[in-house]
Amino acid sequence: MAIDYQKLKNRRFAEIVHTYSARDTMLYALGVGVGSDPVDAKALDFVYEAQLKALPTMAAVLAYPGFWLKEPDTGVDWTQVLHADQEIVIHKPLPPTGTVKATSRVDEIIDKGPGKGAFIYSSRTVADAATGEPLCTLTQNTMARGHGGFGGSTAPTPASQEIPPSAPDFSCDLPTLPQAALIYRLSGDYNPLHADPAVARQGGFERPILHGLCTFGVAGHALLKTCCDYDVTRFRRIKARFSAPVYPGETIRTEVWRLRSGVAFRCRVVERDLVVIDNGFADVG
């Protein structure tokens, strides 16, 4: 398959209007592991309706356009697609219930050359459906392996956050449930890779893997807990690169370095001592 640069760059997306309930907000939080400590009152606010709050990373599932790169008009072989980077900018704390709207767009397609890959940058700004006020902006970088050489942009990819060579200032270990992927998928990402063992084996994995955005949500939870004391008004931006998959049931350690402005972070699976999210930056505190 070959990418048609102009066709993909100018692809039109339908506006998505998404109404979500308190149940959806709690389900998302449970999917990324919040509530593992039943007496942590501050964490309870994200999984119990009495004083319900929305996790900042829940932005990832609001007005989600679905796996649109699987559509034949994209010119992309979806089996060669990898989620490379994700960024979420929070303009104001997400309401725990509401109706939002967003229209996705393709911002750029970077051609790494024949025999190499292509980076597809897409974004959407999620706004309150009634007022039009922006709530969050999401930018995603998707790598299409083996799709280079189509004549797209040869601009360099944006620089990643460097991780300091020193030991982290602090870290946070959060467990994931063996059924974490089965819970997270109920927030809208039904890719069978995360549920069906046969599909996972076809993809080269011994069993279903955790959604990358679920791992991203665990990292967001760790930062909200350790840097913001669960105050969502202090959480303004998070960006990171996906480097390896996580298996449900593994423990994710988020390592954090203080910067002059914000923090750098990365995540590793404790059981395999493997970095799974790298080059992270968050505007928190």
Q: What is the 3-state secondary structure (H, E, C) of 74-140?
A: HCCCHHHEEEEEEEEEECCCCCCCEEEEECCEEEEEEECCCCCCEEEEEEEEEEECCCCCEEEEEEE
Upper half-sphere CA count for residue 190 (Cβ side, 13 Å): 4
Catalytic residue among 194, 211, 231, 283: 194
We report the CATH number of the domain holding residue 100 as 3.10.129.10
Domain range for 265 is 5-284
Catalytic residue among 189, 211, 229, 278: 189
- Give the model's pLDDT for residue 157: 84
pLDDT tens track for 32-65 = 999 988 899 999 999 999 999 999 999 999 999 9
- Give the model's pLDDT for residue 184: 97
Residues paired with 82 in a beta bridge: 143
Number of separate domains in the chain: 1
Please say if 194 is a catalytic residue. Answer: yes
pLDDT tens track for 135-163 = 999 999 999 888 888 888 888 888 889 99
Chain centre distance of CA 26: 17
Question: Pick from 8, 48, 86, 63: which is nearest to 281 by CA?
Answer: 86
Please say if 83 is a catalytic residue. Answer: no
* Distance (Å, whole) CA 121 – CA 62: 18
Kindly report the CA angle at 56 between 123 and 136, in degrees rounded to 5?
Answer: 35
**pLDDT mean over 180-209:** 92
Query: Is the distance from CB of 96 to CB of 128 less than 8 angstroms?
Result: no
Which pTM was predicted? 0.94
